[in-house]
């Protein structure tokens, strides 16, 4: 760590410390930290459950297996998280086992697990499985089918990893591109006065695998097809970040709402009629906000939305089902193109490739 003053850099001592020496434990501390700050797992991850062990087995052997953390990202992909204080040479084997188990989940199973978790975590209300299902559906950006659950992402979090783990994870990632395994480190450093400072970092892979999109036109297996769906969903989800970072859409620009092409004809007719009553309902202003860049013209509030969030809000206000699976990047248009198309072209220009 270095401090900068008067254009000169000076060293600021910040020695490292082992988590064990600080009295840190997996379930007591690491799990709570990740649950409280799921952003350490990546963008837009919702905690579904912790310490899950309700597996079914004729022999009962699986009852002893406890999954540390199960999350759901906004693409609809499950996130299996295994936590280790210190170093464990077989941490990857445990996580792969858990991933294979949750790959058999349906959205109903997931909703049951989430309801149970919410009821364990809160005391102010009782969550029924259908309410938990709505919360999960509302978290996902775009369409979400059971097949997306069959390819979970694995995140291993430890102070460090052995050569055995690193070699195995690298080999599996190269052998099976559809299997995404990330190695994250969690390390403690001591500030002046001995106060611990915790840092989470992704060690592997260096490039976020969720931004990879499989090349079209190649014969794919069922697993590849699902991986493509996940990658496309991630790409749509990150469209607003891309457009903001590249300064593609000027602040204050007007965007229009267009549901044409959405498969639910009843919802389209309902919303179109509602918007026709007040054209401002179908317009938004591009705001200076990376995560939530849309300000609804029909509201006097300064509240901003994600494209999907505002889309679902409009559908609900019109009397439709707010929990529909729909991607706002396909609905909101600027200069005649939806945001996803604008993002693809902007990225192509930025990288010098053809869209």
**Residue 299, pLDDT score:** 94
The count of other CB atoms within 10 Å of the CB of residue 138 is: 15
Cα 300 from chain centroid (whole Å): 30
What span, in angstroms and rounded, lies between the C-alpha atoms of 303 and 272?
23
3-state secondary structure of 51: strand
- Which pLDDT score, from 0 to 100, does residue 208 have? 62
3-state secondary structure 301-312: CCCCECHHHHHH
| Partners of 224 in the β-ladder | none
**What's residue 256's pLDDT?**
97
**In this structure, are strands 67-73 and 78-83 parallel, antiparallel, or unpaired?**
antiparallel
In the three-class reduction of DSSP (H, G, I as helix; E, B as strand; rest coil), residue 201 is classed as strand
Contacts of 60 (CB under 8 A, 6+ apart): none
pLDDT at 286: 97
Dist. CA 320–CA 343, nearest whole Å: 28
- How crowded is residue 118: how many other Cβ atoms within 10 Å of its Cβ? 19
Beta bridge pairs of residue 199:
187
Element (H, E) at 89: none
217, exposed or middle or buried, with CB in 10 Å at 0-12, 13-18, 19+?
Answer: exposed
| CB 74, CB 95: distance < 8 Å | no
Task: Please give the angle made by the CA atoms of 27, 70 and 304, to the nearest 5 degrees.
Answer: 110
**What distance in Å separates the CA atoms of residue 144 and residue 277, rounded to the nearest whole number?**
31
Per-residue tokens: 340: 């996803």
| Domains recognised in the chain with CATH numbers | 16-234 (3.40.1350.10), 241-351 (no CATH)
Residue 207 per-residue DSSP state: S
In the block, which residue shows the tokens 């001591």? 190
Q: Are 62 and 101 in contact (CB under 8 A)?
A: yes
Q: Whole-angstrom Cα distance, residue 195 to residue 111?
A: 40
- Quick one: tokens of 343? 């993002």
One digit per residue, the tens of pLDDT, for the chain of length 355 reads 677 888 888 877 788 899 999 999 998 899 999 999 999 998 889 999 999 998 866 555 555 679 999 999 988 999 999 999 999 999 999 999 999 999 999 999 999 999 999 999 988 899 999 999 999 988 888 778 889 999 999 999 999 999 999 999 999 998 987 889 999 999 999 887 888 999 999 999 986 655 543 333 333 445 667 877 777 777 777 888 889 999 999 999 999 999 987 878 888 999 999 999 999 999 999 998 988 899 999 999 999 998 988 998 999 999 987 666 788 899 999 999 999 999 989 988 887 755 4
Residues 113, 54 contacting (CB under 8 angstroms): yes
Q: Which two tokens stand for residue 128?
A: 């029924």
């Amino acid at each position: 760590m270095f401090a900068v003053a008067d254009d000169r850099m000076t060293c600021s001592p910040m020695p490292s410390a082992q988590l064990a020496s600080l009295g840190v434990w997996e379930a007591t501390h690491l799990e709570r930290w990740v649950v409280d700050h799921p952003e350490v797992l990546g963008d837009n991850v919702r905690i579904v459950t912790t310490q899950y062990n309700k597996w079914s087995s004729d022999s009962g052997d699986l009852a002893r297996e406890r999954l540390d953390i199960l999350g759901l990202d906004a693409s609809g992909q499950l996130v299996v998280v295994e936590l280790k204080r210190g170093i464990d040479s077989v941490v990857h084997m445990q996580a792969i086992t858990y991933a294979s188990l949750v790959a058999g989940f349906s959205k109903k199973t997931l909703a049951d697990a989430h309801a149970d978790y919410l009821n364990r975590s809160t005391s102010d209300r009782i969550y029924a499985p259908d309410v938990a299902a709505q919360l999960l559906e509302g978290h996902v950006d775009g369409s979400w089918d059971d097949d997306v659950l069959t390819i979970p992402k694995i995140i291993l979090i430890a102070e460090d990893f052995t050569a055995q783990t690193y070699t195995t994870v690298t080999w599996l990632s190269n052998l099976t591109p559809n299997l995404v395994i990330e190695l994250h480190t969690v390390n403690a450093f001591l500030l002046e006065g001995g106060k611990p400072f915790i840092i989470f970092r992704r060690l592997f892979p260096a490039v976020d695998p969720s931004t990879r999109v499989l090349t079209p036109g190649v014969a794919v297996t069922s697993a590849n097809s699902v991986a493509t769906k996940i990658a496309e969903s991630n790409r749509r989800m990150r469209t607003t970040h891309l457009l903001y970072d590249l300064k593609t859409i000027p602040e204050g620009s007007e965007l229009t709402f267009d549901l044409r092409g959405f498969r639910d004809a009843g919802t389209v007719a309902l919303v179109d009629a509602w918007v026709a009553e007040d054209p401002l309902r179908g317009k938004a202003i591009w705001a200076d906000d990376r995560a939530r860049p849309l300000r609804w013209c029909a509201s006097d509030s300064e509240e901003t939305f994600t494209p999907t969030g505002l889309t679902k809000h409009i559908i609900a206000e019109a009397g439709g089902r707010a929990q529909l699976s729909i991607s706002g990047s396909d609905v909101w248009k600027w200069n005649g193109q939806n945001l996803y198309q604008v993002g693809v072209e902007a990225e192509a220009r930025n990288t010098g490739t053809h869209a």
